[in-house]
Every structure is written in C-alpha cells, then in structure tokens.
Structure 1
C-alpha cells in the first residue's frame, strides 16, 4: 500500500505543478515563453485526460491472473496496486506451485472455462496453446496501441530470441515477463575453504570433483540440483546434463533414445552426484526449495536458472549476498548447455476482459515496470533476460554482478539445435510436443525412483525409453 500512497502523493504534486504552470502561462510573459508554456499546459492536460479516460474505461473490471510462486512474481503482486490505482482495474492472483499451475491452467484453457484472464506460461506452452487457439494473438493488440504507447513500450527492445520462442506462425502470443538461461552459482567462501576453484567454463566432471571436495571440507552439500519430479522441475537441469553428455530424447526419425549409452551415462552421473555431494531429500527439492537452501548458505554450489541471481545477491533475503561466484552451464561432450526459458504473460482466448488484460500485460512487461521495481525493490532484483535496455542501464549493471554472464549465457543458447546429434524437435530443457508435459513428468518420476534407490538407473531408463517410444508411435511422429 505504500506504493499506492506514493503514487497518490506524486499525482497530487503533479496536479499542483500543472496548475502553477497554467497560472504562469496566463500572467503575461514574453511571446516565446507564453507559447511554450501553453503547449506544456495542453500536453499535461491531455495526459491527465487520457489517464482519466483510461481509468473510466476500465473502472470496475476485475482480472484473474494465474501465476507461479517465484520471487519475481511475488514482487509483481506486491506492486500491482500501482497499476490498479492508474487504471481502476482490480487484479486477483491465483498463486500456485509450478507443477500445480501447469495442471490447472492447462485444464482451464483447454476447456475454455475462462477461470483466468491472464496466465503465466513459458516458451514450451506458448506455441502449442497458440496452435490450439487457447490464447490470444498479441499482434493486433500491439498494433492498436497509439504511437506514443508503442514508443514507450518499445517491443523491439525485447530480445528477438525470446520473442521468437513465444511466437507461433510468426505471431507473438505471449509477452515475456522475465527470461533466463542456466548457470552454475557457487559460494566463494565455501570453495575457498576447500581450496577449490571453478573456471568460467567448467566441465561436469570438474564440478562433481569440486562438489565432493567442498562437501568434505564443509560437511554440507557440495551442490544442489533439482530432484523434484516434474517436466518443468527436475527435467529442466537434467535435460541440459543429457545434452552435455551427448544424449537426446529422439533421433531424426523419432526413435526414442532414453536408453542410449550417452543418456544413461548422463542420468547415472546425475544420480551419483546427488548421492555423493548433493542435498538430502533431493526428490523434494524444486526451484523454490533450492533457492532457499542457497540463500541460507546451506550449500556450496547450485546449478539452475539465471533469474535466481538477483535473489542470491539481495541482502534483504540472502545471507550470501556479495559472496556468489558464477560459471556458465557445465559442458562435457557438448558445449553451450544453458537452457532458454521465459515466464511470460498470455491472455486466455475465453477471457471476457481481453483489453483490460492486455493493459496489465504491457504494464508488467514494460520499461516503466522495470524502473518501478528498481526504484522500489532494488535494481538487483529487476526482471532480467527480456530487454536490451536493462543490460544497458547503469543502475542495473552496478547492482548486478551477474549481468554480463547472464547475457552471455542467454546469447549462447540455441533452442532449435539443443543436442550434439541431430534431433527432430526444438527445446533445450524440453521437447516441444504436446505430449511432453505428461511424458516428461512420468520420465522424471522414473529418474526420481533411481535417486531414491527403488530402481537402478538402467531400469529407470528402460522404463523411460518405453514411455518415449509409445508417445512417438501414438502421437504419429514416428512413421
């Protein structure tokens, strides 16, 4: 509510300022001064009128937004009263864990129930949902913006690779709120205590050896990697390990490859690393749990999303701020293994408040919003990965020691060629077919069984292979 009060105060001051200017303009200055002041009066009055019209247009509209419970979205929820004050639109949030969000939102959009107006979706979901007609094409809404609105919003400022990943048939269907690759974080103090150094471009073997040494020196986890089952949880980092080891989900002819020597070796490495140096209870560790462990200084390294960097460097929530080192996603047989992802905002096709929803989507993904987060919450936690201007902003560059490596990681990803060997799909940490949401979750459960010791890695991947092969056949991919 402090932000709302601040906005009201600024609005009042602006009104007083406009009235003062109006008084000066009619008191008889020189012709040049009088002309400029009158032009300023007219612009200010028109701006105030536009805001009034916008508020009148949407007054009483309530939007329902489904989103994940990650830190960036919590900040968005906190700052939403600013948007509500500007527009008269009320925004209700339905905040869910990542796996639950995907289930509920998919059910809602596929049935056309219209429970949500705005949905938080990613690069995997967007093209599939667009093809099914579940979400709105953003291009007509963007085209209908005024020239002034287009200039302020600056769509071209958003990285082309992210816009491309959120498009279908050359049309944009969701707008990125944040975007990410993956990097390796490490606690400098814990590594120094163990006498270990991590290069900027480590191999997975180097990381594993460092994790074992650090665990021995500190008597706590040497590394955290997600183990919570879910195609968007465990499989996000695990698929990049598969790619690094030269594995893949399918060959060019849609023959499943999950029991190939390369893929089995990658999963065996992952299971062994967690057993030797990972966090206890790995199968209950998702992104949120891993972030908390790292913030609290309870592990030496963590391999995960670049979006976590700001929350590790924020002294308000992290005990290791200023102690974090960064390395690119580890390589093995293949280099450049960072993933590409965006949490984006889409509008349900069944929403009854599409214009109001677009108003919110463009507010929450704007330069204005990034400025608001920087000034109110700190530049270190502004949503990253989406806009070129963010990485040119001196305030952000000064606050974010991870800016350069994040940008490098983002620029080195290629979601159209994720593996060492050719594949018939796109997506680095996922396979961009509709069936992957179920398939990936089931395969992650097989791998979780191997982590827990109830299956061998060989048996787990044999079961996973059968699932993947069945999807290729039943889905008509394999001819």
Structure 2
C-alpha cells in the first residue's frame, strides 16, 4: 500500500526545533516514503509558526513501522506522540479506545473538504480519529513508447488476459526491459495488498460470508497462478523481494513496461527529476480478471494518516502538528516549493477542483476515479470492512503469513497449489482459534 519512496534507511532521526528552549518535543513515527521525507524537509514552516514545539522523526521501512507502532500502542509504550497509520488500523484501534479523536484541528481546517471515502475510512461513529496525509487507490502505469513500438493499445478497461499477453510481447521484443513489475515482497501491506486486489478482480475475497477462507477457491487459484506466471516469465529476477519501493526504482530506470500498484506512484514516475521515462507514462484502471470486475472493481483504498495515541501527554501539540501537515495550506506549501504535481494526492475535494493541479497532474482524474469507485464496506458476500485487507485484528499476522507463502510460490520454492493449500490451512486455524468459525 503505497507508498512513495525517496529515501531508504532503517531509522532516520531529525530533531528540528524552532528555538533552543522548545518546551514540547513530539516524536513522530513515520514511513520512509517520498511524501513523508518531503514533509520533513518543509517543517521549518511549522517550527517558525510554533517555536514552542520541536519535532523528532523516527523514519522506518513500511513493515517495520507497522510492527513498531502496533506494539507501542497495544502496550501503551508511549514511544510516539504522533503515529503514521492507515485505514486498516483506524477502525480497530478506535474501537479499542487506543486513539484520541481529532476534535480540535482548527476553524480553518475544513474536515468536510476531505474526500468522503477517505473521511469515512478514518472515522468511527462519525468522529475523525486520523487525518489523511495522502490517500490512494490502485491503477495501471505503463510505458506508452513501448506499447506503440509493439503495436499495442492499452484498453480503457484492461483485463489480466490482455496484460499477460502485452507483457509477453514486450519482453520478447526488449532484452533490457521487463514486461511487468508487481509486488512480491511478503507482507499484509506489501504483496498481499496487490494480491488481495487481484483476487477480487476474479470475484474472490479473503473470506466468504461465513468467515471461511477462500484461498483454495477458483478466484484465488486463477489470480495466483497468473500472478506467478507473469512474475517468473516476464518480471525481474528476485521479484519475490520487490515491494513498492523497488518497483518504483525499476520503473523510473526504464526497466518495467507495466506496473500495477498504488495511484500515489503516478507523480513520481512522471517527475523528470526522478524518472527517466517521465514523458512516456500512461495510466489505466487496475485490470479486471472477469467481465465487469465485481464489488466496484479491483480498486483498493488506503490513506497514510496521522493519529495520536490515547493517553498522550502531548495531545494539544500533536494535534497542532497534524493540523499543519494535513491542511490545505500544506498542499499550497508543497506546490510552492515542488510544483502542484508533487503535492500529496487523494485527500481533499478542493485539490481536485483546483484547475492548476489538474492541469499539471495528468494522473489526477484517474486517481480520483479509482478512489471514488473503491467501496470497502461490508457486502452480502464479504463480512468485513476492507478491500485489499480485512479490517479485523487477526489479519495483520495472518496476511503476512499468507504473503510468505505467495512469495515462496514466486521464488519457486513452493508450487501455487502448495502455497494456496498452506494459506487455506493457516487461515482456517486462525479464524477458528479466534472464534470466527464455529
């Protein structure tokens, strides 16, 4: 779940203080992606306005961040004053009273300007518990020049059948380009975010209406079989270790013809300062596996968001920082320094009504369409909230365990049938132990 990367590195600590005598220091746990790194570079604007608040950044790789913040909040560790979390954690943690409500973001903050699907995903009982820094759905990114050279035309609604054939054609015609790049790194928010969406495009969910796991059903079997085939025949070597960051780097180096991932990647692959192929990128919806993708298509819904753990002794300062970092004024600050195309996407209605943004960001409408068409609500055949994840506490561990089986299938150490059988058995045990299956 995306996750825009500029800088790697396990931990980055930056102490930014407006004055030597700052009264309050906020420790902020965040993910090592491009938007967050950019925000750290712009925080002089915040500290100049709030010289009594200093900022201490703990910047972590995505899987590590999730482990650290989950452990900290579940044990009331108090390590962080502001946490970067997502749409998975918010409903669960709010129900456990682990988060403070964001009731004092300021008169000019305009909570109603947050895109309705995102605001709803970050609220519980109508109360906002996390403010979105950027939000995303899923899309297809592809090289228009390679498609033209191969005599291919991307459909308005691509199918996985078309994608596989296009990947084969381009791989055969280009010795230095991989036909497709997809997430292989195991993790509930890494390869399982992608595979959860791909399986849904074939009509499958993680669990049926009775909470029975579906991994050995037709939808998952078809999706994983095609996924492994594309990764092993048309993807880069070592694909089982590649997550969002690694595929972004490959695409920007001109090594990938197609990449299905988070909409948030769009501004990076079209930025000529970061991408060698910026002038030759096209956008299309996430592919369908069957006619008229079920459940409003195969989109996902995610927002990297800022929240305050309950029991915080620095809640007022933390909410002041969150209001600054997720405001319309912050978007204008980024635009002033980096250009409108590089502002954090997917959060505010006003951004998509801004003619300057839509003119400079060729991916704006595609991003908005994907978010608007992502409905994570409970349905007759899906008893959980979520699209690429299931918003239940058990999913974090279960999703990562299943992701390891899928990565093993990509690396060749396990067959697809073995991986799916192992995933089914593990999920059935966990859901029975947790009481979902009687």
What is the 5 A alignment of 1:439-458? 439-458=398-417
Secondary structure of the 1:325 match is: strand
- Residue 423 of structure 2 is aligned to residue 460 of structure 1: no
* Structure 2 segments unaligned to the other structure (5+ residues): 1-17
Higher relative contact order (Cα pairs below 8 Å, separated by 6+ residues): 2
**Match of 2:91?**
127
**Match of 1:104?**
68
Secondary structure of the 2:386 match is: coil
**Match of 2:80?**
116
State whether residues 117 and 371 of structure 2, in contact with CA within 8 Å, keep that contact through their aligned partners in structure 1.
no
**Partners of 2:388 and 2:102 in 1: how far apart?**
25
**Match of 2:312?**
351
Task: Render the CA deviation track for 1:65-91: whole Å, top value 9, x for unaligned.
Answer: 111111111111111121011101111
**Partners of 1:380 and 1:320 in 2: how far apart?**
16
Query: How far apart are 1:417 and its partner, in Å?
Result: 5.2
**Partners of 2:384 and 2:378 in 1: how far apart?**
8
**Match of 1:137?**
101
TM-score using structure 1 length: 0.84
Query: How far apart are 1:454 and its partner, in Å?
Result: 1.1
Task: Render the CA deviation track for 1:267-300: whole Å, top value 9, x for unaligned.
Answer: 1111011111112211111111111111111111
1:325 to 272, 282, 286: 282
Secondary structure of the 1:91 match is: strand
State whether residues 194 and 218 of structure 1, in contact with CA within 8 Å, keep that contact through their aligned partners in structure 2.
no
**Match of 2:120?**
164
Query: How far apart are 1:103 and its partner, in Å?
Result: 0.5
* Structure 1 segments unaligned to the other structure (5+ residues): 1-54
**Match of 2:261?**
304
1:374 to 335, 339, 347: 335
Query: How far apart are 1:458 and its partner, in Å?
Result: 0.6
Secondary structure of the 1:176 match is: strand
Spell out structure 1 runs of 4+ moving beyond 4 A. none
**Partners of 1:451 and 1:161 in 2: how far apart?**
34
Task: Render the CA deviation track for 1:154-207: whole Å, top value 9, x for unaligned.
Answer: 111101111111112332110111111100000111222222211121011111
**Partners of 1:119 and 1:213 in 2: how far apart?**
45
**Match of 1:42?**
none
- Please identify which structure carries the higher helix content: 1
TM-score using structure 2 length: 0.92
2:239 to 265, 272, 282: 282
**Partners of 2:248 and 2:313 in 1: how far apart?**
37
Aligned residues: 414
1:193 to 108, 128, 149: 149
**TM-aligned CA distance change 1:137 to 1:377, over 3 Å:** same
| Superposition CA RMSD, Å | 1.5
